[in-house]
Structure 1
């Protein structure tokens, strides 16, 4: 009997698989990132969606003096306030999710279709939130750096000297650097070339490079254009007069701070709709809480072609 005939006496793999249950994963969304920025910000609840940032007007005009023997020489002063303080209004990142009831009824085992559709949509909204916190033309970090807090690199590639310059601008309890992962890699190369490899620190169970004890936090939402990007340095928290995130508490259908999911009903075509909204903004309480290093070169275009698409 031939070897080919012998093989036909046993059940083949392809046929056997028809009786086997495949282990199915939930849908994997490649754009999901750690979103460290939202974890590191202090979030302030905002009443009625408006945050008014009051500031002292002409702070250097407030006069004080050491005590004198003749108390008649004591100076008098007062603290003036800006008459038209800036007001921040919460912005909404929102979408409507549609799910056909036939799909959710018939195909929700082993994974609930509505639950997975909501999870993936919420993840996408949270990714957009981090991008808005950095790039929004009204309240984003990059748009709210004071002119005197903007620096340029000394040599193009990010160096320890450049980060030291940033630290001179945000020297009051600096919290973290924020930049594109490619800029962190470029900084690591420069440090290694100079013989000063940067140490690491563990945060949230992950390792981060540091400079002068300040972690370099990666975010792919920091834009890269023509092989150049930016490095931000932040101080955070309201008690430090730093950068704070803003959110609306107590929303109907609240799933997490500032995020709500509301069922909108089922239409005549058997489509169930869910309104997903995330309300947020960001405020820089003091100009010296934020600085940026611009024109940071991360490498040649042909080294990272996918980054510039």
Structure 2
């Protein structure tokens, strides 16, 4: 019987060639700098139609005379409530940019994802990140610049402890709303609680879990600066009725996409580039000094500060 001849190796279509006929499932562009921006969600936002918000305050609170009624009412005290004659006025701050999109790109490459829509979405997300940074860091109206000297305290041991947060609550004891801290500061506080045998409970907000202290959630924001391993922790009371902290926005803008945010088409130039003006107008007001307090010199160890990306 003749011996079997060696058969040639089987040939088949390879993966690389086969992929040329396949449609890849494509995601929308992912932007790593997007954060939840909890601060924006937790503030009460007030419309400021003329772009100016004036905070009127009582100037003689300690001099208002009140007495309990006695049988002889002939000696009732006389008093009045005086107002500050130079109240602070807050002006809306603009965060703006012009987005350029070449019409050839939007015409030819908008399937499955519309190029203009994605360009606008990602630019708006970046503007909103800058908005939160301004609410915290703006030198005129930001939270850190708005804390009264009497509402500033320093840590007792360097690392944030339950005692430190209790001291903050003592400063903002009238219906405090939440702590605001860098994620690394919240981690450092959690370590201190665990070391002391008092792990903090958690609460669910907006479908996410937050650790709490004395029932108040610790809200993270990476916009709070970290310098040389130190940062700050804020405690905030919010709302106009509580005489707390409120956000301000301009209503009724042309091309309004969200409160205070507008997108306006500016036209197409001779180079076939379409331009869109994206603007966000906002500010923040602290109605009374005891609505806000800060814990300073909070040590969290080594941490790289990425806050420059919002400047």
TM bin, normalised by shorter chain, reads over 0.9
- Aligned ranges 1:268-287 → 2 under 5 Å: 268-287=270-289
Q: Match for 1:266 among 268, 271, 277?
A: 268
Counterparts of 1:198 and 1:220, CA distance in 2 = 21
Aligned partner of residue 134 in structure 2, secondary structure: helix
Do 1:200 and 1:208's aligned partners in 2 also have CA atoms closer than 8 Å? yes
Q: Match for 2:38 among 32, 36, 44?
A: 36
Do 2:222 and 2:307's aligned partners in 1 also have CA atoms closer than 8 Å? no
Unpaired segments of 5 or more residues in structure 1? none
Q: In structure 2, what is the equivalent of residue 71 of structure 1?
A: 73
Shift of 1:71: 1.1
Tell me how many residue pairs correspond in the alignment. Answer: 304
Q: Match for 1:202 among 192, 201, 204?
A: 204
Do 1:264 and 1:275's aligned partners in 2 also have CA atoms closer than 8 Å? yes
Shift of 1:58: 2.0
Aligned partner of residue 143 in structure 1, secondary structure: helix
Unpaired segments of 5 or more residues in structure 2? none
Counterparts of 1:79 and 1:298, CA distance in 2 = 46
Closer, same or farther in 2 for the Cα pair 1:86/1:308, shift >3 Å? closer
Moved over 2 A (4+): 304-309
State yes or no: 1:91 paired with 2:87: no
State yes or no: 1:108 paired with 2:104: no
TM-score (norm 2): 0.96
Q: In structure 2, what is the equivalent of residue 158 of structure 1?
A: 160
Q: In structure 2, what is the equivalent of residue 190 of structure 1?
A: 192
Do 1:94 and 1:125's aligned partners in 2 also have CA atoms closer than 8 Å? yes
Closer, same or farther in 2 for the Cα pair 1:58/1:306, shift >3 Å? closer
Deviations 1:96-146 (A, max 9, x none): 000000000000000000000000000000000000000000000000000
Q: In structure 1, what is the equivalent of residue 259 of structure 2?
A: 257
Counterparts of 1:160 and 1:109, CA distance in 2 = 53
Counterparts of 1:66 and 1:6, CA distance in 2 = 107
Do 2:227 and 2:305's aligned partners in 1 also have CA atoms closer than 8 Å? no
Aligned partner of residue 137 in structure 1, secondary structure: coil
Deviations 1:233-282 (A, max 9, x none): 00000000000000000000000000000000001110100000000000
Counterparts of 1:306 and 1:295, CA distance in 2 = 15
- Aligned ranges 1:1-309 → 2 under 5 Å: 6-7=9-10, 9-299=11-301, 301=302, 304-305=303-304
Deviations 1:206-256 (A, max 9, x none): 000000000000000000000000000000000000000000000000000
Counterparts of 2:282 and 2:304, CA distance in 1 = 33
CA RMSD of aligned residues (A): 1.3
Q: Which has the larger radius of gyration?
A: 2
Counterparts of 1:155 and 1:190, CA distance in 2 = 11
Do 1:226 and 1:308's aligned partners in 2 also have CA atoms closer than 8 Å? no
Counterparts of 2:210 and 2:96, CA distance in 1 = 32
TM-score (norm 1): 0.96
Counterparts of 1:200 and 1:264, CA distance in 2 = 48
Counterparts of 1:79 and 1:307, CA distance in 2 = 48
Closer, same or farther in 2 for the Cα pair 1:308/1:121, shift >3 Å? closer
Aligned partner of residue 210 in structure 1, secondary structure: strand
